[in-house]
Amino acid sequence: METEATMPGKEETTNSRRHHEEHPNTAERLLETAWRHCSAIQDIIDRLNEAGTNTEPRLLANRLQRLVFRVRPVSPEDGRV
């Protein structure tokens, strides 16, 4: 049985941003948090594949591909590559 995937609403995203603004983190803590989320996403992808769904993994793959472009290493000259 396939279910329709939904993205978080604007209010959920705004609340999440507000929480992060109120609780600043160091780069190390942010990396640890990102790593945990990556592991969780990997587990979800495995479970979706085991369930034999097609739509949800494709939607997730598209979103992850867009996220790749947001990760940019810092260059020593100007702070960005």
| pLDDT tens digits for range 41-67 | 999 889 988 999 888 888 888 999 998
- How far is C-alpha 44 from the geometric centre of its chain's CA atoms? 12
Give dist(CA 58, CA 41) in Å, integer: 13
pLDDT at position 39: 95
pTM passes above 0.75 = no
- Structure confidence at residue 58 (pLDDT): 86
- pLDDT of amino acid 3: 46
Whole-number pLDDT of residue 57? 83
Sign of CA dihedral 49, 55, 56, 60: positive
| Residue among 80, 59, 56 at smallest CA distance from 1 | 56
- Return the closest-CA partner of residue 61 out of 37, 80, 42, 77: 42
In angstroms, rounded to a whole number, what is the distance separating the alpha carbons of residues 51 and 74? 39
